[in-house]
Structures are given as structure tokens and as C-alpha cells.
Amino acid sequence: MPDAALFEAERPRLVRLAYRMTGSLAEAEDLVQDAWLRWSRVEGVDAPAAWLTRVVTRLCLDHLKSARVRRETYIGAWLPEPLLGATDPAGVADDLTVTLMLAMERLSPLERAAFLLHDVFNVDLPEVAKTLDRAPATVRQLASRARRHVAEARPRYPVDPQAAARITRAFFAAARDGDASVLSDLLAEDVAIHSDGGGRVLAFHNVIRGLAKAQRLFAGLQRKYRDAPTELLGFATIDGLPGYLSRTGGSVLQTTALDIRDGRIAAIYIVRNPDKLTRVAAALQAGQVAARD
């Protein structure tokens, strides 16, 4: 019987890999469980960690073929399931933010796998080639192309945590109050607002771009929810970005992550799809999110 303890030791890393491949923690856990079933049927694996990485990666690649079809019929903008820093399945944060994960969405599944395995999970090139069943030279090209695309989405300079916290708090208040003046100081001229409701709750179907449109949007939301202002539930790191959890209209839970560049908010990622927020709700219930001010 294969060593169950060894698999459990590898599980957090495997879930993290599968989540970065699929953008869904629920799907990642299902795929890793499938890997466990395969692991339970084999004997005498020489390099268990490499074998499991290979199996999970291939399961993810197969999964992405059908997931791509579902994404094409997804209602509105698609965002990855928000992963709070406090509930990272591996307990270790990496630098793959929401912005970078969306950049990876534009990669082919093989490019994504090559980049994640080689650049994020530090798998050596020959093993990546074996996993993807491609020549090392081909894998090197896949990873290089992916790296160029992802590099465009990386911020030039890291954001000071204290500055990020100050901007996040100021943005929440300005967005709640529809304060156009404060928003003009916080938002970049070409700010982009992404909102994922998955067809389950109200959300913007298209990305909203530009400062003027953003100001009008938040002014309109303030008027709409004047009698039930947005409630701040807590601040959190959301897939590597500063953000917060809130409840709008007295009932709809959402996460808001902010991509801050050069002191201004360049992109806003709002997840309202309840199917993607079950773990967020559980984290709130368990007190894993910082208390609101």
C-alpha cells in the first residue's frame, strides 16, 4: 500500500499547483483527490514528489480542455476563485496575483504548465519536459513565451504594505460614499474594474475602463444602496493583492482586490459569484479575516 503520510505531506503543494493551473480551489482539490486515487493503486514509485507533480499536471491539462469550453459560455467576466492569504492551501504565498493569473489565462495550457512548473515550483527542465511529454527545447520555448507575457503584468516595483493598507482603506470609504474627488486621487486614469457574478448575482458583464466611468459607477452604486450602505467585513490579502471583504445591499458577499501601481489603483477585481465564495464565507465565520476598523 502506498504511503498515505507521504501523499498528505505533498497535498498542499499539489493543491497549490492545481489551483494556479485552474483558478478554482474546489476543482484543484478534486483533481488532487483524483491523483490520490491513482497513487493508491501504484507500488514502488522511485521519486514520489516528481511522480505526483506529473500526475496532477496532466490531470489539470485534461481538465483545462473542458474548462475552456465552459469559460466560453461563462456569463460576464471570469475571475479566479479568491484565495485569502489566511487560507492558502499550502500555507506559503507566492507572487502570482490575480493580475498575473489573468495574464496566464491568455496562455495555452502547455505554456501555463511550463511556466508554473519551471518558474514558480522550481521543477528542473528535463522533468518538466517529461511531465509535458515534449522535448526540452520545446519546453524552454513554452516557458520563455509564457514568461514574456507574464512579465508584462508584473508591477515594476513592489508596493509598500503600509501604503497599500492606507490606499485600500481610503478606496473602500470613497467607493462606498461615491466620493469622486477622493477616487480621482486614488485611481489611475486607465483603471480597469472587473466584476465576476457568474450569472448568479448582479455584476458588470464587461470590464469598466477609465477614471470617469469608474467615478460614475461608484456614484451610481452609492445612490442605489443609500439605504443599505456597503458593510466592511474585514481586510485581507486576496491572491497576493491588498483587498477587503464586504457585503452590499445587506446580503451579497463580495471580495475586492486592488492592483496598486505607482501609488494608484490600476485595476479592481470584484468577485460576487457565491459559488466562488464558500471558503471566504467560512473564513469569515472562523474569524480568519482581520476585524474591520
Domain assignment of residue 253, yes or no? yes
Cross-strand bridge partners of residue 257:
243, 269
In a domain, 278, yes or no: yes
Same domain flag for 187 and 112: no
From 130, 153, 176, the end of a domain falls on: 153
Same domain, 207 and 120: no
pLDDT at 111: 96
Helix axes 48-72, 125-132, angle to 10 degrees: 50
pTM of the model: 0.89
Sequence-distant contacts of 92-96: CB under 8 A, at least 24 apart: 92/16, 93/237, 93/240, 94/16, 94/120, 94/240, 95/154, 95/240, 96/20, 96/120, 96/239, 96/240
Whether residue 187 sits in one domain with residue 142:
no
239 Ramachandran zone, left/alpha/beta (phi>0; psi -120 to 50): left
191 and 267 co-located in one domain: yes
**CA separation for the pair 67, 80 (Å, rounded):** 13
Q: 139: which 3 cell numbers? A: 519546453
Residue 43's domain spans which residues? 4-153
With cell 459559488, the residue in question is 275
HSE at residue 8, side-chain half, CA atoms within 13 A, is: 3
Same-domain check for residues 125 and 32: yes
**Each residue's pLDDT tens digit, 139-185:** 999 999 999 988 877 777 778 899 999 999 999 999 999 999 999 99
Count CB neighbours of 203 within 10 A: 21
> Per-residue pLDDT tens for 174-224?
999 999 999 999 999 999 999 999 988 988 889 999 999 999 999 999 998
Please report, for the domain that includes residue 29, its CATH number.
1.20.140.160
Q: CATH number of the domain that 169 lies in?
A: 3.10.450.50
Distance (Å, whole) CA 104 – CA 13: 19
Q: Quick one: 165 and 223 in the same domain?
A: yes
Among the ranges given (52-56, 89-93, 196-200), the one the predictor scored with the smallest mean pLDDT? 89-93
On whether residue 290 sits in a domain, the answer given is: no
Q: How far apart are CA 229 and CA 28, in angstroms?
A: 35
113 and 253: one domain?
Answer: no
Q: Do residues 118 and 252 both lie within one domain?
A: no
Same domain, yes or no, for 18 and 138? yes
pLDDT score for 92: 45
Cβ(74)–Cβ(36) below 8 Å: no
Does 55 reside within a domain? yes
